[in-house]
């Protein structure tokens, strides 16, 4: 089978409570049965809990990134993998890994990028706070206006990307602006973005995002990158 290498990247910071559950849910056996070579890469951003050890015991490859920041972790992983299809997924058990086969089929059909949309799908009660929901809707509308896209969930942490797109990315953000930076670069280069409605679970542990501060940073990135 051509184009059979799949890499799943999980940025993680103090996710000992959830990383094992996320890895247990991975559809790796089913994908391998279909002929795919699957590598799961956990980027540990210098956690001070058992995140790395739990992930290692579950068979994941561990990359230790001493600098903290989700976007930094993703850049570190992208520089160390060779895959035909790359998936980005949070390690906090909010995004079910079970959507990866469906997203993979879309990528194999020729679509360069696919995201898992929480706003087109359904959510566990309390999974997204009202302020977060309103902020995401506003940021998504801003992105669609500025870049001519038609996505429904800018801030989703669930992405699937084909191999040929990766060298086109010049990621410079460090934290939770990662998704907005991906959108700006993909849209400017004319890549189509497909969506899969997903179920979004309530986070078992405390969220790390600062809603107002990070929302302002995302908005500024969208505006400033539009005119560069």
**166-216 residue pLDDT tens:** 999 998 887 778 999 999 999 999 999 999 999 999 988 776 665 678 888
Domain that holds residue 140: 5-226
CATH number at residue 57: 3.90.550.10
Cα–Cα distances (Å) from 154 to 32, 142, 147, 200, 216, in that order, read 31, 10, 12, 14, 14
Q: Give me the number of domains the chain comprises.
A: 1
Identify the bridge partners of residue 7 per DSSP, sorted by sequence position. Answer: 39, 86
Q: Which residues have a Cβ under 8 Å from the Cβ of 213 and sit 6 or more positions away?
A: none
pLDDT at 73: 93
Q: Global pTM?
A: 0.94
Weakest-pLDDT range from 109-123, 127-141, 171-185: 171-185
Sequential DSSP letters for 150-182 = --S-TT-S-EEEEGGGGGG------STTHHHHH
Q: Are 27 and 15 in contact (CB under 8 A)?
A: no
**Strands, E, within the chain: which ranges?**
5-12, 37-44, 61-64, 85-88, 113-123, 159-162, 193-200
């Amino acid at each position: 089978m051509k184009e059979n290498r799949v890499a799943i990247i999980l940025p993680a910071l103090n996710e000992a409570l959830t990383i094992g559950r996320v890895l247990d849910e991975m559809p790796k056996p089913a994908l391998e049965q279909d002929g795919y070579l699957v590598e799961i890469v956990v980027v540990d951003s210098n956690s001070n809990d058992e995140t790395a050890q739990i992930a290692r015991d579950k068979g994941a490859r561990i990359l230790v990134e001493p600098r903290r920041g989700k976007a930094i972790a993703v850049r570190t992983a992208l520089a160390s993998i060779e895959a035909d299809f790359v998936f980005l997924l949070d390690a906090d058990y909010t995004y079910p890994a079970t959507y990866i086969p469906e997203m993979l089929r879309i990528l194999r059909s020729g679509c360069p990028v696919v995201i898992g949309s929480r706003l087109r799908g359904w959510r566990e009660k309390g999974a997204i706070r009202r302020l977060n929901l309103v902020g995401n809707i506003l940021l998504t509308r801003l992105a669609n206006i500025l870049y001519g896209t038609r996505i429904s969930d800018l801030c989703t942490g669930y992405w699937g990307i084909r191999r040929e797109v990766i060298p086109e990315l010049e990621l410079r953000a460090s934290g939770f602006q990662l998704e907005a930076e991906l959108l700006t670069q993909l849209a400017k280069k004319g890549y189509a973005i497909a969506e899969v409605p997903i179920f979004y679970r309530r986070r078992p542990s405390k969220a790390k995002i600062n809603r107002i501060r990070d929302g302002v940073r995302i908005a500024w990135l969208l505006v400033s990158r539009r005119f560069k």
